[in-house]
Amino acid sequence: MKTSPLAGQPVEPGMLVNVPRLITAYYTEDPDPAVPAQRVAFGTSGHRGTAFNSSFNEGHILAITQAICLYRKRRGTDGPLFLGIDTHALSIPAYATALEVLAANGVEVMIAAGGEYTPTPVISHAILTYNRVRKTGLADGIVVTPSHNPPQDGGFKYNPANGGPADTVATDWIERKANELLESRLVGVKRVPLARALNASTTHRIDYLSAYIADLGAVVEMDVIRDAKLSMGVDPLGGAGVHYWGRIADRYGLSLAVIDDEVVDPTFRFMTADWDGQIRMDPSSPYAMQRLIGMKDRFDLSFACDTDHDRHGIVTPSGGLLPPNHYLSVAIFYLFKHRTKWRKEAAVGKTVVSSQMIDRVSAKLGRKLYEVPVGFKWFVDGLLDGSLGFGGEESAGASFARLDGTVWTTDKDGIAPALLAAEITARMGRDPGEIYHDLTREFGEPTYDRVEAPATPEQKELLAKLSPQQVKLSELAGEKIQTVLTHAPGNGAPIGGLRVVAESGWFAARPSGTEDIYKIYAESFRGADHLRRILEEAQTIVTDALAASPQAPGIPSEPKLKEKP
């Protein structure tokens, strides 16, 4: 593995973000819409960037928020807007900017009482709870978060009335309107001073925390966890759920030790460095999770969530940190056997870059597989109407139905899957890592990896538009290629790249939405050597396909792959 020597090591002082400089840049640097990297750009989870390179500044948030206000009017959304925030340094100023614009536009805004941080799933839950008995006056929401990304990053995403991440129709419109506002130097943006916004008659304070926690028993069998008297540890990673876990333990009588439940530090100095030496609050990374992994023998089960608590990491005494694909497979296997009130036709949702172990488990369960491109937005409709019992991504994001089969959240929820791991352990008498080993004895043991390669914006655009006809080879790592996909089997949507499948392995290649790289995901059911062959041949296939394009002169023949665990 080509990892940084800092990976897994405690963060050094020189790695910490200078928060005063970052906040100053947010307010003083003006983005230039003529520079592509400084325009508003919605990826799979909203607009992200950093004030240091003028990709996330006050101008962006003024423009995006005004665009959302215009979009709400266009759509006839006139109920309250639930506004959430995580613990990144740029989240607080962006939250203030957004509130100034929302108040000036007369939007009824629901903010957390006492200035509490608000996880992404809590906002989704609030929207759905409010809208459940309504046909008109529907609510929507904004979450100010860059998820697990480094401390210098900011993020801003919109969740419409369905409670989940906005679809591309919505984000394309908001993005286009926001960039028009930037180009006009914010002419047409309404705002009022923050003090006035906070005291506006349209600004309301609610107890998000209590409402969400009180309802957890509707999605996870909390009494089963309590009665098993499991010893559990949780690391909030200094994120938006930092004050939630203690309240969950108190409400449901759990033996749950919270590590640093008062620590909110926007430098995230308590982390260990990720694989590339950056600070990244990724609960699925064994490098970032060293603190909790080191405590694995203190508890029957441990877990963590990222900064906005929409991703989970599960640590077991038997296996340490479970790879996301392993836990997703176990969760699906367990849920569809034990949620007896779920619809018999409820399907399993997965992304095209998730493990084929999920395919095999779903087939054994007799459940339809719904395979979609990367992005949780593709699961929203199915989770909302109950046609999906579960939706999950290889990046450790998931949500699933309530005990009665109705919708819980339509955005990723890191808290519920973490607690589900405790329910599984309590009911089955074995932790999820042990159960995964049972699955491998029945279905085979896959080896999975993801690598990255540099790519120019032009190369990324070409990769996103590749056709199956551009793949000239007939074999992948010694096996006949069965299918070459550029559209997801579940919904026919473009995957923004391609996926090549053989009998015992596959790979998928797609450009990053936020960095000048492309990613290759690969899996083999024949071991590490076979996986290495797949990765090497995937590199060749992608390089040759890009080079063969008449629009791509000068494509390098051998991009340097940067491996990621």
User: Which tokens is 40 given?
Assistant: 């508003």
Distance of CA 444 to the CA centre of its chain: 28
Q: Is the Cβ–Cβ distance between 322 and 427 less than 8 Å?
A: no
Q: Give me the sign of the Cα torsion angle 404, 405, 409, 412.
A: positive
Q: Is the Cβ–Cβ distance between 9 and 113 less than 8 Å?
A: no
In angstroms, what is the C-alpha Rg of the chain? 23
Q: Is the Cβ–Cβ distance between 204 and 115 less than 8 Å?
A: no
Distance of CA 565 to the CA centre of its chain: 17
From start to end of 97-226, where are the E strands?
A: 109-112, 140-144, 153-159, 203-206
Determine whether 255 is an active site residue. no
Q: Which class for 169: exposed (0-12), middle (13-18), buried (19 or more C-beta within 10 A)?
A: exposed
Alpha helices in 199-257 (DSSP H): 208-214, 222-228, 244-252
Which of these, 370, 381, 395, lies nearest to 45 by C-alpha position?
Answer: 395
Q: Is the Cβ–Cβ distance between 146 and 154 less than 8 Å?
A: yes
Active-site choice (45, 55, 124, 147): 147
Half-sphere exposure at residue 288, Cβ-oriented, CA atoms within 13 angstroms: 29
d(CA 222, CA 252): 7
Q: Collapsing DSSP states into helix, strand and coil, what is residue 455? A: coil
Q: What is the DSSP string of 320-388?
A: EEPPHHHHHHHHHHHHHHH-TTS-TTPEEEEETTS-THHHHHHHHHT--EEEE-SSGGGGHHHHHHTSE
d(CA 325, CA 288): 18
Residues paired with residue 312 on neighbouring β-strands, in sequence order: 305
DSSP H or E run through 96: helix 91-104
User: Which tokens is 486 given?
Assistant: 């550029």
d(CA 452, CA 563): 6
User: Which tokens is 22 given?
Assistant: 């970052």
Q: What is the DSSP string of 250-299?
A: HHHT-EEEETTTT---TT-TTSBP-TTS-----TT-TTTTHHHHTTGGGS
d(CA 276, CA 162): 36
Q: How do strand 109-112 and strand 203-206 relate by DSSP bridges?
A: parallel
Q: Where in the sequence numbering do the catalytic residues fall?
A: 147
